[in-house]
Amino acid sequence: MAEPLKVVVTGAAGQIAYSLLFSVAKGDVFGPDQPLELLLLDITPMMEVLNGVVMELMDCAIPLVKNIVATDDPKVAFKDADAAFMVGAMPRKEGMERKDLLKANVRIFKAQGQAADQVAKKSIKIIVVGNPANTNACIMSKYAPSIPKANFTCMTRLDQNRAQAQIASKLGVSNGDVTNVIIWGNHSSTQFPDVAHASVNINGKKVTVPEAVKNDNYLKNEFIKTVQQRGAAVIKARKLSSAMSAAKAACDHMHDWFFGTKGNDFVSMGVISDGSYGIREGLMYSYPVRIKNKTWSIVQGLDINQFAREKMDATAAELTEELEAALAECEA
Ligand SMILES: NC(=O)c1ccc[n+]([C@@H]2O[C@H](COP(=O)([O-])OP(=O)(O)OC[C@H]3O[C@@H](n4cnc5c(N)ncnc54)[C@H](O)[C@@H]3O)[C@@H](O)[C@H]2O)c1
Ligand SMILES: O=C(O)CC[C@H](O)C(=O)O
């Protein structure tokens, strides 16, 4: 059997982690033959709760889990780590603004970036889930300069899954029949869910989503708004931020990073911009990517019409603003 993979989960006593840890532990992400060491990080006041989570993980008696470490010290958690799910951050509650979250959370990613920089493997693959996810990932990368920037990503897969599910439901097909939906930009209400390049399998025939839906007005308005506002709608209904679906999306993201995308299909991930599609270099922007040999590359050459251009630029503008505020917060 292979050596155990060292997998960090931060915010390990929280609600997303409670779903995430079970899926990771039973092999949904790194495969059914990959043994795991789980490195669980949370803050000191949460150690008792975290111990309860550890007890439950033990009691699942999953053969792949070779060791579990629960700690409040980022340097212990990140030591020689191969992969990290960065979930530990405050979620937005009803009535809170995004800006409140940025102030509260960005420093966490500065400190944990510094710790990863010192002790993690340089090949560590990091997904940031904690909000504002794109900007937190950018900050974490800035404070971990010895780790390649391509190893830092943020999660927009939940938005992709939400968009895919909306289209599948509209057309009465299975979720798996819808491919290549794109999320451009920020994991926020300015994101641009784009189906112009997406396909759907209808009765064994592949057609474009716009052709299948035959309702441009829906695709340009209600569809986009529903996906952009879905996180807020879940908070309103549950009085808590999405957790089961967020954990599933984090698993999908990391699984595809390790195992690659299929054929010509692509998935959306927040990655560091190299200027592709006219987006400012250095922003953590969600793009369509293909993945081979654990390396993502931005899908190039997609036609961008005026409608898409405006939406892509609007979400980039929000990310620029967020990054400037985050840098000011970190340097204060
Ligand atoms: N990117 C996405 O699609 C997406 C989706 C859903 C939620 N989120 C975000 O994920 C984050 C976590 O959500 P949740 O519902 O699990 O929240 P939660 O409050 O249930 O859990 C968060 C956990 O993080 C811990 N934590 C706080 N500071 C920490 C630190 N410095 N180090 C380690 N752990 C720390 C808390 O103690 C808590 O246990 C939130 O920021 C939320 O907005 C992102
Ligand atoms: O805070 C929000 O509005 C969204 C929370 C979370 O990121 C989600 O998308 O469900």
Number of domains in the chain: 2
Instruction: With beta carbons less than 8 A apart as the criterion, state whether 133 and 103 touch.
Output: no
Q: Who's near 320: CB < 8 A, 6+ residues apart? A: 280, 283
Q: Who's near 40: CB < 8 A, 6+ residues apart? A: 8, 9, 12, 13, 17, 21, 50, 53, 54, 68, 69, 70, 71, 77
37 forms beta bridges with 6, 67
CA-CA distance, 157 to 122, in Å (whole number)? 24
Over the Cα atoms of the chain, what is R_g? 19
Look-up: residue for tokens 């420093």? 107
Residues 58 and 167 in one domain: no
Q: What is the pLDDT of residue 332?
A: 84
DSSP of 43-67: -GGGHHHHHHHHHHHHHTT-TTEEE
Q: What is the pLDDT of residue 92?
A: 83
Q: What is the pLDDT of residue 242?
A: 97
Q: What is the CATH number of the domain that holds 117?
A: 3.40.50.720
CA-CA distance, 307 to 189, in Å (whole number)? 17
Ligand showing the shortest atom-to-Cα distance for residue 253: 1
Q: What is the pLDDT of residue 94?
A: 78
> Would you call 187 a catalytic residue per the annotation?
yes
Residue at a domain's end among 154, 175, 190: 154
Structure token digits, residue 84: 């990290």
Instruction: With beta carbons less than 8 A apart as the criterion, state whether 122 and 80 touch.
Output: no
Q: What is the pLDDT of residue 95?
A: 79
Residues 72 and 170 in one domain: no
Q: Who's near 255: CB < 8 A, 6+ residues apart? A: 28, 29, 30
Pocket lined around ligand 1, Cβ cut-off 6 Å: 10-11, 13-16, 41-43, 46, 87-92, 108, 129-131, 133, 155, 158, 187, 241-243, 246
Where does 267-332 show beta strands of DSSP type E? 267-272, 284-292, 295-298
Does residue 231 form part of some domain?
yes
Does residue 327 form part of some domain?
no
Give, for all 332 residues of the chain, the pLDDT tens digit.
789 999 999 999 999 999 999 999 999 999 999 999 999 999 999 999 999 999 999 999 999 999 999 999 999 999 999 999 999 999 887 778 777 889 889 999 999 999 999 999 999 999 999 999 999 999 999 999 999 999 999 999 999 999 999 999 999 999 999 999 999 999 999 999 999 999 999 999 999 999 999 999 999 999 999 999 999 999 999 999 999 999 999 999 999 999 999 999 999 999 999 999 999 999 999 999 999 999 999 999 999 999 999 999 999 999 999 999 999 999 88
The answer to whether 105 is a known ligand-binding residue is: yes
Structure token digits, residue 247: 């954990």
Q: What is the pLDDT of residue 91?
A: 85
Q: What is the pLDDT of residue 300?
A: 98
Q: What is the pLDDT of residue 101?
A: 87
ipTM over 0.85: yes
Furthest-apart CA atoms within the chain: distance in Å:
58
Does residue 332 form part of some domain?
no
Residues 163 and 66 in one domain: no
pTM over 0.90: yes
Which element (helix H / strand E) includes 186? none
Q: Which of 225, 242, 248, 286 has the most ligand 2 atoms within 8 A of CB, as the residue to mutate?
A: 242
Q: Which atom of ligand 2 is nearest to the CA of 91?
A: 1
Nearest CA owner, ligand 2 atom 3: 232
Residue 188: strand, helix, or coil: coil
Range of the domain at 32: 5-154
